[in-house]
Amino acid sequence: AQTVTQSQPEMSVQEAETVTLSCTYDTSESDYYLFWYKQPPSRQMILVIRQEAYKQQNATENRFSVNFQKAAKSFSLKISDSQLGDAAMYFCAYRGYNTDKLIFGTGTRLQVFP
Amino acid sequence: DAGVTQSPTHLIKTRGQQVTLRCSPISGHKSVSWYQQVLGQGPQFIFQYYEKEERGRGNFPDRFSARQFPNYSSELNVNALLLGDSALYLCASSLWDPLANYGYTFGSGTRLTVV
């Protein structure tokens, strides 16, 4: 069975600085998809960034980028130029190739200080 | 365009009662999935419905059931409620194309409290 582990329950960063959130996963599949979701107090899960396992190039979305290490089964999220609005719970998630099921980690609470 | 809508937003039920949660997907999305998020944890997959058929089921007891209607909206039913069923229930809709890296759109959830 696939698992997703986020080992940092909480992280903090100052505005305009850079922070990296860690995620590791376990799977025996070779094709899969990885996601980072943000959940603010409004509770709605918002997609931050996604990565296809068959792509070696790391995904980037504006201030958000990932470091995808397939052999190490690691998928970290880097947030550059942090903003107060980035404060939220961040969840790493895995989806197998032929399923709609998302497997989430336990989340990392990110605090952003002015 | 309307996003994924869930109703009600909050609900308080007594142990042993039954509850029905509702979800309307984004227009054009034929897949609806349900997740349970207990406080302090990540969401756990409960069900996926696609074209009105169950396509996936998580490790939840038979007290949990769901269905999808011809307009692709969905209901999640939970019978014989337990205190441990207290959680945020999230609905996600998608296009569900196994060959593509599609996205999911989540609703804001229904907060269920069992007392």
Enter the tokens of residue B69. Answer: 């209607």
Give the whole-angstrom CA distance, residue B76 versus residue B6. Answer: 11
Nearest residue, CB atoms, A50 vs list B101, B106, B111:
B101
Q: Percent of chain A having pLDDT more than 70? A: 100
B1: confidence class by pLDDT, cuts 50, 70, 90: low
Taking any CB pair shorter than 8 Å as contact, residues of chain B touching chain A are 31, 33, 35, 40-45, 48, 50, 55-56, 58, 88, 90, 92, 94, 96, 98, 101, 103-104, 106-109, 111
Nearest residue to B109 (alpha-carbon basis) of A89, A21, A109: A89
Mean pLDDT of B56-81: 96
DSSP-derived 3-state class of residue A100: coil
Q: Percent of chain B having pLDDT more than 70? A: 96
| Contact call for B98 and A98, based on CB within 8 A | yes
pLDDT, one tens digit per residue, over A32-56 is 999 999 999 888 899 999 999 988 8
Give the whole-angstrom CA distance, residue B106 versus residue B40. Answer: 18
Enter the tokens of residue B100. Answer: 């593509």
Q: How far is B81 from chain A (nearest CA, A)?
A: 23
Nearest residue, CB atoms, B108 vs list A42, A50, A52:
A42
DSSP-derived 3-state class of residue B100: coil
pLDDT, one tens digit per residue, over A54-70 is 888 999 999 999 999 99
- Residue A23, pLDDT > 90, answer yes
Chain B CA closest to residue A32: B101
Mean pLDDT of B27-53: 93
- Residue A87, pLDDT > 90, answer yes
Sequence-separated (6 or more) residues with CB below 8 Å from residue A62: none
Nearest residue, CB atoms, B55 vs list A4, A45, A100:
A100
Return the percent helix, strand and coil in chain A, to nearest 5: 5, 55, 45
A45 at interface of B, judged by CB pairs closer than 8 A: yes
Enumerate the residues of chain B whose CB falls inside 8 A of the CB of residue A101.
33, 45, 48, 56, 58
Q: Are the CB atoms for A104 and A4 separated by under 8 Å?
A: yes
SS (H, E, C) A42-85: CCCCEEEEEEECCCCCCCEECCEEEEEECCCCEEEEEECCCCHH
Phi, psi torsion values for B25, nearest 5 degrees: -80, 170
| pLDDT for res B98 | 63
Look at strands B19-24 and A102-104 and give their pairing.
unpaired
Mean pLDDT of B15-22: 98
Q: How far is B82 from chain A (nearest CA, A)?
A: 23
Q: Are the CB atoms for B108 and A42 separated by under 8 Å?
A: yes
Give the whole-angstrom CA distance, residue A97 versus residue B29. Answer: 19
A84 at interface of B, judged by CB pairs closer than 8 A: no
**Which amino acid makes up residue A88?**
A
A97 at interface of B, judged by CB pairs closer than 8 A: yes
| Long-range Cβ contact pairs of B62-71 (< 8 A, separation 24 or more) | B66/B34, B68/B32
If one counts every other C-beta atom within 10 angstroms of the C-beta of residue A106, the result is 16
| pLDDT for res A1 | 86
Mean pLDDT of B88-112: 86
